[in-house]
Amino acid sequence: MRPHSQRQETRTIPTRPDDARGAGNPRARQRYSDAARAAADPLVRGLVRAGVTPNAITIFGFAGAVATAVLVGFQQWIAAGIVFVIGSVSDMFDGSVARMTGKATRFGAFLDSSLDRLGEGFVLGGIGVALASEGSTWAVGMTFAALAGSFLVSYTRARAEGLGVDSNKGGLMSRTERLVLVGAGIFFGGVGPVLEIVVTILAVGTLVTVAQRLSYVHSTLRDADGTPEDR
C-alpha cells in the first residue's frame, strides 16, 4: 500500500514536444516492432483460427523462459538458445492475438508483464548458476546487478506511469535490447568469456537506463510542478 501522502488522483503530466521520446527514442524500435508484427500476421491469424488464447501464449512464453533457465544451468547452450528464441518470439503474439480477437483485458496485460519479469529473472538466475559452476565470482556479481537493473528498468516505467508520466520509455537497454543481448550470450555461452562480457554489458547498460529514466521523470515532474522534486 502506498503511503497516505502519495494517495492522490493520478493525472497525465504533459511532456514538451522535444521530450516526447522519453528516456530514449523509441521511434526506431516502434518501426521494427511494426515490421515484425506485419511479418508475423499470418501466424497470428493461424493462432486465432486455432482458438489459441492470449493468456495461453503468455504462459507458453513463460514456460520457455523456465526451460531456458534449466538448460542454461546445465550449460546446454545451443538448446537453451533455441528455446529462448522460441519463447521470446512467442511473446510478441499474445498482444496481437488479443487485439485481433477483441480479448484484450487489463488482467491479460498485467499477467504478461508479471510473467515477463519472472521469466527474465529465471533466465538470469540460470546464467548465474552456470557462471558460479565455472567459479567466475565477479561475473555472478554482475549477473545480480543485471537482474536488479532489468527489474528497475521496468519498475521505473510502471511507477512513472502511476504518477502520470506516460512516456518514460526507451533508453540504452530496454526490453528488446536485453532480449537480443541475453540471447547472444546464451548461444555463445560456451565460447571463452562471452557470457561474462554479456552480463557485464547488461549490468552496466540496465543501470544506465535506470539513471536515464530517473533523470527524465525528475525533469518532467519538476517542469510540471514548477518546483524541484528533490527531497
What tens digit of pLDDT does each residue of 7-36 get? 344 455 555 444 444 455 556 666 666 676
| Active site residues per annotation | 116
Q: Return the domain boundaries, the chain.
A: 25-225
pLDDT surpassing 90 at residue 208 = yes
pLDDT surpassing 90 at residue 61 = yes
Q: Could you read off the pLDDT of 150-200 as tens digits, one per residue?
A: 999 999 999 999 999 887 777 889 888 999 999 999 999 999 999 999 999
Please state, as a whole number, how many other Cβ atoms lie within 10 Å of the Cβ of residue 150.
26
pTM for the model: 0.83
| Alpha-carbon distance values, 10 to 13, 113, 163, 220 (Å) | 9, 21, 6, 15
What does residue 191 show for φ and ψ, rounded to 5 degrees?
-105, 105
CATH entry 2.60.40.10 includes domain 25-225: no
Q: At 220, list the grid cell.
A: 518532467
